[in-house]
Amino acid sequence: MLTGQKIVLGVTGSIAAYKSCELLRLLTKKGAVVSVIMTESAQRFVTPLTFKALGAKEVITSDWEDPDHTIPHIDATRDAALFLIAPATANILAKADQGIADDVMSAAILARRCPVAFAPAMNINMWQNPATQRNIAQLVKDGAIILGPAAGEQACGDKGSGRMLEPEEILELLEGAFTPRVLDRCRVLITAGPTFEPIDPVRGITNLSSGKQGFAIAKACAMAGAEVTLVAGRTSLKTPAGVRRIDVTTAYDMYRAVMNEVSRHEVFISVAAVADWRIANPATRKIKKGYTDTPELIFEENPDILASVAALENAPYCVGFAAETDNLIDNARAKVYRKRVPLIVANLVQDALGQDSNTVVFVERDQATPLARASKEQIAQALVAKIAQEVN
């Protein structure tokens, strides 16, 4: 929900300044309008041109040289939704704490009316120094947001706290802060990804689901304030921040995990591509070529997880997905009735598989609402809005 938000990115003199370039790129990609302020020492690490080329609306480096601004340190943050200083050195934290305004950056911090966030980046000893810790404590008291720092290997060779958070982590935190909490404290259980049915210890039957849509929904729910449990089939996707993840392999594992968890949840979103059938007699040892006749696979049916949840006495609000190759609305509506769920998100396989965007229709008993083609993230946000409407 960063679209159209005006953010001022303050870059101070730390080697982590190179990460701010990526941060700017990620923010503008999300639709934020980003102005940059750089200190003199920041310009020793990266140049204003780098930020300009990456899409900054403007780059302010001094109070004296920009003819577009009458008073840069005041105008820069006017109407801004957030002033984010990343990287924030020990020096800028100290100045912000004391209200020192001896350059365009520190003056802009003092003059701002919008919220301010700092992503500290410094050597571990500088971070742990009582002076820095005092400054941080005071800044928090004054309402500043402190993002990080992370621990790890530092540019100086030391190890420990002081590394700036990665740009993706900062982005995620900001997205969370800018998202309305329409599912505040709502407990949401989600299944995502493919299932895998073993034939023998090295082979199995799976499908082409990437898990991207389910993970995007887990992230959108968490950002909207929900407590999210994600039951995930095999995927290498990263767990979204704040989401509790349970990894499973087979459809039956997924069924057991869901049935174990569901009573604590108010919403169930079944995004996983669940195998309808499993191998009844998977071999315990690898099936060798030549030593047996052509193997025959005997199938037995897996439980329908979504239908089982929807049939529970105190069923949560259930959302299913339907990937169809044809007759989209009719097939999806048939699932609304067959699985007894209020909402099916339907899409055509050819529109979605392996892609980052999709075209979906919200199919309910009495209506079908098509959404314009959108990224899986945007679809997740639309679904969160729909669920919030239904459950609140």
Return residues touching ligand CTP (CB under 6 A).
191, 251, 270, 272, 274, 276, 302, 304-306, 320-323, 335
Q: Which is nearer to ligand CTP, 174 or 323 (CB)?
A: 323
Shortest reach from residue 223's CB to ligand CTP, in Å: 22
Shortest reach from residue 274's CB to ligand CTP, in Å: 4
> What are residue 151's DSSP bridge partners?
161
Per-position DSSP letters for 56-70, written without gaps between them = -SEEE--SSS-TT-S
Shortest reach from residue 111's CB to ligand CTP, in Å: 52
Q: Which is nearer to ligand CTP, 171 or 230 (CB)?
A: 230
Q: How far apart are CA 12 and CA 38, in angstroms?
A: 6
Shortest reach from residue 127's CB to ligand CTP, in Å: 46
Catalytic residue among 156, 186, 221, 318: 156
Phi, psi (rounded to 5 degrees) for 387? -65, -40
Shortest reach from residue 304's CB to ligand CTP, in Å: 4
Q: How far apart are CA 267 and CA 131, in angstroms?
A: 47
Shortest reach from residue 280's CB to ligand CTP, in Å: 16
∠ CA(67), CA(72), CA(73), 5° rounding?
A: 165
Q: Which is nearer to ligand CTP, 19 or 339 (CB)?
A: 339
Residue 133, amino acid = Q
Per-position DSSP letters for 233-265, written without gaps between them = -S--PPPPTT-EEEE--SHHHHHHHHHHHGGG-
Q: How far apart are CA 226 and CA 244, in angstroms?
A: 11
Q: Which is nearer to ligand CTP, 166 or 351 (CB)?
A: 351
Phi, psi (rounded to 5 degrees) for 374? -150, 165
Shortest reach from residue 335's CB to ligand CTP, in Å: 6
Q: Which is nearer to ligand CTP, 12 or 229 (CB)?
A: 229
Question: Could you tell me the two tokens for 167?
Answer: 């740009």
Q: Which is nearer to ligand CTP, 174 or 322 (CB)?
A: 322
Q: Which is nearer to ligand CTP, 97 or 304 (CB)?
A: 304
Question: Could you tell me the two tokens for 213?
Answer: 């849509």
The separation between CA 279 and the C-alpha centre of its own chain, rounded to angstroms, equals 35
Shortest reach from residue 173's CB to ligand CTP, in Å: 30
> What are residue 152's DSSP bridge partners?
160
The separation between CA 84 and the C-alpha centre of its own chain, rounded to angstroms, equals 19
| Pairing status of strand 360-363 against strand 343-348 | antiparallel
Q: Which is nearer to ligand CTP, 316 or 320 (CB)?
A: 320
Question: Could you tell me the two tokens for 313?
Answer: 């006495």
Per-position DSSP letters for 341-377, written without gaps between them = -SEEEEEEHHHHTT-SEE-EEEE-SS-EEE--SEEHH
Contact (Cβ atoms closer than 8 angstroms) between residue 178 and residue 81? yes
Q: Residue 223 — left, alpha, or beta (φ > 0 → left; ψ -120 to 50 → alpha)? A: alpha
Active site residue 221: no
Enzyme catalytic residues? 156
